[in-house]
């Protein structure tokens, strides 16, 4: 067999075998892409679950802090300590604002609790201003609306803590 015939035969074999090999390669590429997509989706879901768990843990930490702030605020008012009362009111505003932010980010839908939180934050700000502006002040009177609003929130926090604790113990779909 002459070399030209061998070359032609080899060329034909190469031409005909290239198409199936290209299709196999293309199929493997598509399979790898699908596998990569599933892995990326699983990683994304895992990250979302971790974010929800972290938010829940922050909530479970903030709730007792807010209850302690309420106790300390009451104590500072009874002791007639303007400085401590101002400090605890500022602490309430900061921590309650964080809790409200976490709940908003998690699409928490208990409107009553969200309104109570916002009201307590606003009333704490008003009480601070009243105390600072008066310089002498009757702390009981100046802080009464804020302390009442704070009590409403802390009454709701027990339910929220129990609800979040239950969710932390079990599998959830990613909402707080």
Domain boundaries, the chain: 53-169
Name the average pLDDT for the chain. Answer: 86
């895992």: which residue's tokens?
Answer: 46
**Structure-token pair, residue 150:** 């704070």
Q: Which of 60, 98, 73 is nearest to 148 (CA)?
A: 73
| In the predicted structure, residue 169 carries a pLDDT above the cut 60 | no
| 3-state secondary structure at position 92 | helix
- Specify whether domain 53-169 bears CATH 1.20.1260: no
Query: Which one is predicted more confidently, 26 or 83?
Result: 83
- Cα 136–79–130 angle (5° rounding)? 35
Least confident of 3-12, 21-30, 38-47: 3-12
Per-residue pLDDT at 14: 78
Tell me the pLDDT band of 173, cut-offs 50, 70 and 90: very low
Predicted TM-score of the model (pTM): 0.68
Query: Which one is predicted more confidently, 108 or 64?
Result: 64
* Cα distance between residue 138 and residue 162, in whole Å: 37
| In the predicted structure, residue 149 carries a pLDDT above the cut 80 | yes
Tell me the pLDDT band of 166, cut-offs 50, 70 and 90: low
Q: Which residues contact 82 (CB under 8 A, 6 or more apart)?
A: 131, 137, 139
14-28 pLDDT, tens digit per residue, is: 778 888 888 888 899
* Cα distance between residue 45 and residue 39, in whole Å: 10
85-118 pLDDT, tens digit per residue, is: 999 999 999 999 999 988 888 777 788 989 999 9
Q: Where are the alpha helices (DSSP H) in the chain?
A: 3-78, 82-105, 111-134, 139-169
């Amino acid at each position: 067999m002459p070399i030209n015939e061998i070359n032609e035969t080899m060329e034909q074999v190469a031409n005909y075998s290239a198409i199936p090999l290209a299709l196999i390669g293309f199929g493997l590429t598509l399979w790898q892409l699908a596998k990569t997509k599933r892995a990326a989706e699983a990683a994304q879901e895992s990250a979302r679950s971790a974010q929800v768990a972290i938010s829940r843990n922050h909530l479970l930490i903030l709730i007792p802090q807010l209850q302690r702030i309420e106790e300390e605020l009451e104590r500072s008012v009874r002791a007639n300590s303007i400085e401590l009362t101002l400090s605890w009111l500022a602490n309430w505003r900061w921590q309650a604002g964080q809790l409200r932010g976490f709940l908003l980010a998690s699409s928490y839908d208990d409107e009553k609790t969200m309104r109570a939180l916002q009201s307590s934050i606003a009333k704490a700000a008003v009480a601070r201003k009243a105390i600072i502006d008066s310089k002498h002040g009757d702390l009981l009177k100046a802080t009464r609306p804020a302390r009442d609003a704070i009590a409403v929130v802390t009454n709701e926090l027990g339910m929220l803590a129990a609800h979040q604790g239950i969710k932390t113990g079990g599998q959830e779909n990613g909402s707080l």
